[in-house]
Structure 1
Amino acid sequence: MKIVIVDDHPLVRRGLAAVISMQPNVQFAGEATNGQEALLVIEETQPDLVLIDLKLADESGLDVIKAARTRGIASKFILLTSSASREDFLKAEEVLVDGYVLKEALPEELLFAIQLVHKGRKYYDPGLMEDKMRMSGSSPTDELTPKEKEVLIELGQGACNREIAARLFISEFTVKKHVSQILAKLQVADRTQAALYANAVGLTKYEMSYD
């Protein structure tokens, strides 16, 4: 996996490069400090993934992402930011970013996000996801049945359908039905986001391997 880092702070770029180099399957492909440099480096290296700051001096990382996609660049983008504002998060969603990670996150969380996005899924900071889901003023978990809550807790622990079925003494088919209902009620795209939500609201502690 080739990764390009876009940030206007040298220490941040070096720190990120050190973190991603911890993974044997990750290659640091290049870096940039602004939008123009970023587009040149991305077009030249064709990275699998770009870690990009939301605010680049007088520019926005979102504008860089828009420009890259206009040029047909197929790289995935993870926004790195110190902003936990709902407005910035919603703007990021509008341009369909693949990941949104706060700079206060632990290195393990960033690596988790990178692996998840590389596999074709999305990663949003759990706290921001919780805030988004509470925008209506009520908790989405209020809509879940007791059994669906049990399944959600198991999802949060990283259990597969077979494991959930065995632990809750129900069939795998029933588990699939519950998972489908949970995704619909929580308004999330997949079971990983459901698991992250379970962790964010304190239902369980979510863990994921980096296989």
Structure 2
Amino acid sequence: MPTGLAKILIADDHALIREGMVSLLSRLDNIGTISEAADGKTALSILQSVPINLAILDIHLPGLTGLDVAREVRNRSLDIRLMLMTGDISEELATSAIRELSLEAYLFKKNDMRQFETAVKAVLTGNVFFPPELALADTGEATSTNSLSVRERQVVKLIAEGHTSESAANVLGISPHTVRKHRENIKRKLGLGTVAELSSYAMRNQFL
């Protein structure tokens, strides 16, 4: 997660909801720029043009939905952590979205702002947050997988494919030192460090 001030996007078509979130976030430590969008097309445009650390997306955005925007973020391998929110209390929808999009957080709008604050703080410190009432199967490994950043997932995949830190760095266009730092973070989050362990993990979680 960012070492400086976090840059956040809030995308919701209800102005009052956006204003409430902005008001809360502006009181938290380590929050920098807060961008806003009222529809999916605007949200995606911001995410493609402005450095954003966390995108908070309403699932039912007009135009492109929050799910559509999240898919584009993942398909384009943008290093952005994703939180989806919805008023639709559907465990099936929630579980499907979390697994398909490797979400860092999911919230039901029926819950209060304290849970929203808890979720934001969790994501910005490299953790994940899902509602207590949401029973995810295989929570241990699923939660660990969701704690990985997009770049960390890329590193796991490349190492599992047989790349060294140096060759993975060439593929990703970053330094070997940065790849090694990502591997340290992966080991801390997953408890896995060897190539064999990462390869097995990548196969179980369909990284390959």
Q: CA deviation at 1:188?
A: 6.2
Q: TM-score, normalised by structure 2?
A: 0.60
Q: CA RMSD in A?
A: 2.3
Per-residue deviation, 1:41: 1.0
C-alpha contact 1:20 1:28 (8 A) present in aligned 2? no
Note the C-alpha offset of 1:2: 1.1
Aligned to 2:34: 29
Cα offset, 1:79, TM superposition: 0.7
Superposed structure 1 runs of 4+ greater than 4 Å apart: none
Q: 1:80 to 1:90 in 2, by over 3 A?
A: same
Which protein shows a greater Rg?
Answer: 1
Any stretches of 5+ residues in structure 2 without a counterpart? Answer: 1-5, 145-208
Question: What is the CA–CA distance in structure 2 between the aligned matches of 1:188 and 1:54, rounded to whole Å?
Answer: 21
SS of the residue 2:35 aligns to: strand
2:58 aligned with 1:104? no
Q: Which sections of structure 1, spanning at least 5 residues, go unmatched?
A: 134-139, 141-182, 191-211
How do 1:132-147 and structure 2 match up within 5 A? Answer: 132=136
Deviation at 1:111, TM superposition (A): 1.3
TM-superposed deviation, 1:75: 0.8
Match of 2:134, SS state, is helix
Secondary structure at 2:56 match in 1: strand
Q: 2:121 aligns with which of 102, 115, 121?
A: 115
Q: Please name the residue that 1:18 is paired with.
A: 23
Q: Percent identity?
A: 28
Q: Which residue of 2 aligns with 1:6?
A: 11
CA deviations 1:114-172 (Å, max 9, x no partner) are 1111222211111113xx45xxxxxx9xxxxxxxxxxxxxxxxxxxxxxxxxxxxxxxx
* 110-119 or 51-60, which deviates more: 51-60
Match of 1:73 in 2: 78
Instruction: Name the TM-score, length of structure 1 as normaliser.
Output: 0.59
Question: How far off its partner does 1:51 sit?
Answer: 0.7
Q: 1:107 to 1:28 in 2, by over 3 A?
A: farther
Count of aligned pairs: 139
Quick one: distance in 2 between partners of 1:76 and 1:124?
Answer: 14
Q: Tell me by how many angstroms 1:8 deviates.
A: 1.1
